[in-house]
């Protein structure tokens, strides 16, 4: 049947293109041959089997084209249009054309409703806006719904001095000068030990943190802008531990991971409550027993703990972080560690659960557990 259909396609194409080749070749083909060919065409046209096969071929072709059109449409629907970025009007930096001092109503006119709202270390909420983790931003508002904090790790940063995602670290320091070496909280100065992975600048009555990707030639990978008053109102380096803050850090780290995967054209991971409990258990164990490592004090590996909790997996991996003041700093640090980065950008992982716990000094422990079942 396949050979018959192929023969039909060749004949039909040849017959349809008859006006284009008949005159140029007729002087080279004997009349007897031409008559035989015409006779064959007429015979096939009158053949019932030919007509049925042609109809089947047409139906199959229509089905294939319809499927192709649907997939193309679905792909276009899932791909968000990048915004047209303009230079800030009131400050040095803007994100998604949003600046500190803008109203929530103005923000959501551009972005729509937030996908998630979760408590952060400043005691306010990070509101997360995105379209399937494209055009990803986090916005914090005060009690009057005025923007007091911004973050993105995507191509949504604009500045009056040409700094954007992908800019070299040297350009940032040339334009912004010497970064802050410490930050004051009450009567205490906390030293900023960034290991060269980020710089903090005090600009426009705000603290601007520029994060760098050391595996991409020390180029800008993300930015956080925090209003000076919001930073000043945070009494200590770490936020006040609570159930809400624990959950906030967990979901924020999950969203940050997916936004990064989208940057690298990878699939979005699914949140998994079951493995979150395994991750929480390990974070709590580390916090309470003052150790930091993948193997716990009972000698169990991450895979042992997953099996103990009846989690079936084909492949799995674990990332740990400790002492970072927020999920943002934890995520950016993990991305600058090759082994952790590999887990975040692993193509075959499908699910992710994150568990956070605090020690007696309010320092957070972060455990990320990736797997495919």
Mean pLDDT value across residues 13-26: 44
pLDDT at 83: 84
Task: Measure the CA–CA gap between 11 and 293, rounded to whole angstroms.
Answer: 70
Please report how many Cα atoms fall inside a 13 Å half-sphere around the Cα of residue 53, on the Cβ side. 18
pLDDT at 159: 96
Mean pLDDT value across residues 245-272: 98
pLDDT at 90: 86
Report the percentage of the chain scoring pLDDT > 90.
74
pLDDT at 81: 78
Q: Comparing C-alpha atoms, which of 308, 167, 331, 193 is closest to residue 252?
A: 331
CB crowding 136-149: b at 16 or more within 10 Å, else e:
bbbbbbbeeebbbb
Mean pLDDT estimate for the chain: 86
Retrieve residue 227's tokens.
């209003």
pLDDT at 74: 47
pLDDT at 18: 47
Point out which residues pair with 319 in neighbouring strands: 368
Q: What's the 3-state SS for 104-155?
A: HHHHHHHHCCCCEEEECCCCCEEEEEEECCEEEEEEEECCCCEEEEEEECCC
Lowest mean pLDDT among 45-59, 143-157, 342-356: 45-59
Query: Would you tell me how many other CB atoms lie within 10 Å of the CB of residue 314?
Result: 9
Contacts (Cβ under 8 Å, ≥6 apart) of 191: 181, 182
Q: Identify whether the C-beta of residue 291 lies closer than 8 Å to the C-beta of residue 297.
A: yes
Lowest mean pLDDT among 61-65, 175-179, 204-208, 355-359: 61-65
Q: Are strands 270-271 and 351-358 parallel, antiparallel or unpaired?
A: parallel
Mean pLDDT value across residues 146-165: 97
Point out which residues pair with 202 in neighbouring strands: 207
Q: What is the pLDDT of residues 230-248, one digit of tens each?
A: 999 999 999 999 999 999 9
Q: Is 369 exposed, middle or buried (0-12, 13-18, 19+ CB in 10 A)?
A: buried
**Phi first, then psi: what are they for 4, rounded to 5°?**
-65, -45
Mean pLDDT value across residues 65-92: 66
Q: What is the pTM of this model?
A: 0.80
Q: What is the pLDDT of residues 116-128, one digit of tens each?
A: 999 999 999 999 9
Mean pLDDT value across residues 67-96: 71
Q: What is the pLDDT of residues 24-62, one digit of tens each?
A: 434 333 444 344 435 544 544 455 554 554 455 555 545
Residues making up the chain, counted from first to last: 373
**Phi first, then psi: what are they for 369, rounded to 5°?**
-125, 115
Q: How many Å from the N-terminal Cα to the C-terminal Cα in the chain?
A: 41
Retrieve residue 343's tokens.
């887990």
Retrieve residue 224's tokens.
């956080």
Point out which residues pair with 159 in neighbouring strands: 93
């Amino acid at each position: 049947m396949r050979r018959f259909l192929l023969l039909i396609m060749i004949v039909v194409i040849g017959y349809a293109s008859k006006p284009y080749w008949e005159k140029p070749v007729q002087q080279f083909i004997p009349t007897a041959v031409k008559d035989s060919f015409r006779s064959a065409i007429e015979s096939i046209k009158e053949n019932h089997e030919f007509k049925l096969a042609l109809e089947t071929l047409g139906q199959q072709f229509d089905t294939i084209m319809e499927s192709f059109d649907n997939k193309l449409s679905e792909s276009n629907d899932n791909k968000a249009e990048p915004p047209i970025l303009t230079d800030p009007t009131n400050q040095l930096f803007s994100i998604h054309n949003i600046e500190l001092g803008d109203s929530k109503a103005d923000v959501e006119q551009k972005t729509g409703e937030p996908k998630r709202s979760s408590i952060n270390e400043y005691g306010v909420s990070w509101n997360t806006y995105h379209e399937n983790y494209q055009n990803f931003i986090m916005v914090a508002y005060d009690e009057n719904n005025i923007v007091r904090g911004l973050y993105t790790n995507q191509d949504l940063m604009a500045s009056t001095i040409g700094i954007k995602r992908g800019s070299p670290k040297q350009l940032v320091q040339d334009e912004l000068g010497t970064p802050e070496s410490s930050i004051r909280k009450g009567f205490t100065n906390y030293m900023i030990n960034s290991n060269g992975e980020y710089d903090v600048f005090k600009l426009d009555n705000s603290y601007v943190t520029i994060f760098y990707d050391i595996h991409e030639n020390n180029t800008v990978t993300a930015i956080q802008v925090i209003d000076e008053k919001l930073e000043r109102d945070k009494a200590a380096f770490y936020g006040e531990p609570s159930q809400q803050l624990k959950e906030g850090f967990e979901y924020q780290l999950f969203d940050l991971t997916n936004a990064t995967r989208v940057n690298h054209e990878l699939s979005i991971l699914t949140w998994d409550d079951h493995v979150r409990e395994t991750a929480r258990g390990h974070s709590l164990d580390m916090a309470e027993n003052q150790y930091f490592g993948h193997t716990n004090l009972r000698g169990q590996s991450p895979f042992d703990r997953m099996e103990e909790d009846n989690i079936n997996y084909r492949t799995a991996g674990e990332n740990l972080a400790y002492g970072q003041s927020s999920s943002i700093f934890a995520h950016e640090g993990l991305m600058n560690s090759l082994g952790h980065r590999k887990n975040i950008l692993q193509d075959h992982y499908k699910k992710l659960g994150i568990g956070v716990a605090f020690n007696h000094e309010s320092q957070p422990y972060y455990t990320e557990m990736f797997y495919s079942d």
